[in-house]
Amino acid sequence: MTQYTRRLFIETISAGLGAAVSHPSFAARNDADQPPARKLNVALCGLGRYANVLRSGFAESRYCRLAGIVTGTPAKAAQWQQDYKLADRNVYSYQTFDQLKNNPDIDLVYITLPNGMHKEYTIRAAQAGKHVIVEKPMAFTVRDCQDMIDACQKAGVQLAVGYRLHYEPHHSELMRLGQQNIFGPVRLIDASLGYQLAGTPPNDWHLKKSLAGGGPLMNLGVYCVQSGRYVLGEEPLSVTAQYGPVTMPSLFKEVEENITWQLTFPGGAVCTSATTSNCNIDRFYAAADNGFFELNPALSYGPFKGRSSQGPFNFPVVNQQAALLDDIGRHILEKKPLPSHIAGIEGLKDMRVIEGIYRAADTGSKIILPQG
């Protein structure tokens, strides 16, 4: 049985046991590192639930600082401005957003708005000359994702998607075990995520197709799709999918409440997933020829608990948001391209699969997924 300590984990990734786990962000957060000459100045666009989760990420980040906000709620603006001692010129509404182009104190905009606003504000931020981090899902369609990528490339800014789990050591271990066939070829993955929305106000944006784009598949299923792709290091070939059941028809009039799907991969693995707004579920399990590995909880904010055929994992708890901010901040400050695993193209690849899942559920047919 292998017991994984923080020191062993850092030594392991430093030794380069594969691209899957060799994320420079972990090395960047080593206590021996010198702080950067300056931090990247970030404006948060949208001060909802996830923006509050990001507070601790900014507090711990060595490479990024919260320097501005964008909100449509004056009370939130006043509170955040007080909390972070923000200058008046760095506080924006959605109506004044485009004035960011005249503010050299802001380097990057982090978009945590409802899904349906991701494309518009990514493009507007790019046109203002600011780098962008956009939360998941990146957009509603592959075409939307490509438009966002094109706008950022045209403006000469970088576009990242908030794939925080790439910076979490349990997930780096899943990538190593899967991509390097430590227990032989992976045959089956079960990755599922859901939370209970009973009692949610009917005007919540997650229930509105125009703002959410879909139900739990858009908001939670992206994590399941991502985990299958990065654990195997492959792109899925085909998908079948099924809606239902609907247990809360008064709430779920516009978007799905439950959906399950099955992805096939080139190496022969099948990834089965369920995502739901009916109950709390958060798990990952992979079965290989000579063993298994799993996390439960698995895809949420953690702390995670996992094991493999060799025994329990014992990885350090890291602040996923701080690690993500640090890697993005370090790359931009050093004028280097962002790693592909968080770049806009990764969000487009996930959306390609999600579009296929919806088509499969709508038609009842197996859908061959685009490649490339």
Give the list of residues 6+ apart from residue 363 with CB closer than 8 angstroms, or none. Answer: none
Using CB atoms within 10 Å of the CB of residue 120, give its burial: 0 to 12 exposed, 13 to 18 middle, 19+ buried: middle
Number of neighbouring beta carbons within 10 Å of residue 339? 18
CB-based contact 238:142 (threshold 8 Å) = no
Query: Residues 63, 121, 223, 230: which is the catalytic one?
Result: 223
Both tokens of 306, joined, read: 């996992």
Helix (H) or strand (E) holding 123: helix 118-127
CB-based contact 9:169 (threshold 8 Å) = yes
Bridge partners of residue 29, in order along the sequence: none
Both tokens of 274, joined, read: 């369920």
Both tokens of 309, joined, read: 């055929």
Nearest alpha carbon to residue 275 among 194, 357, 359, 197: 194
366 is catalytic: no
Both tokens of 331, joined, read: 């790359």
CB-based contact 39:61 (threshold 8 Å) = yes
CA-to-CA distance for 162 and 341, rounded, in angstroms?
10
CA-to-CA distance for 366 and 372, rounded, in angstroms?
19
CB-based contact 238:264 (threshold 8 Å) = yes
Residue 358 dihedral angles phi and psi, to the nearest 5°: -60, -40
Nearest alpha carbon to residue 17 among 33, 4, 29, 30: 4
223 is catalytic: yes
Can you give the C-alpha Rg of the chain in angstroms? 20
Alpha helix stretches (DSSP H) within the chain:
6-14, 24-28, 49-60, 74-84, 118-127, 142-155, 169-179, 209-212, 216, 222-232, 320-333, 344-363
CA-to-CA distance for 1 and 23, rounded, in angstroms?
25
Query: Residues 136, 167, 230, 349: which is the catalytic one?
Result: 136
3-state SS assignment for residue 42: strand
- Catalytic (active-site) positions: 136, 223
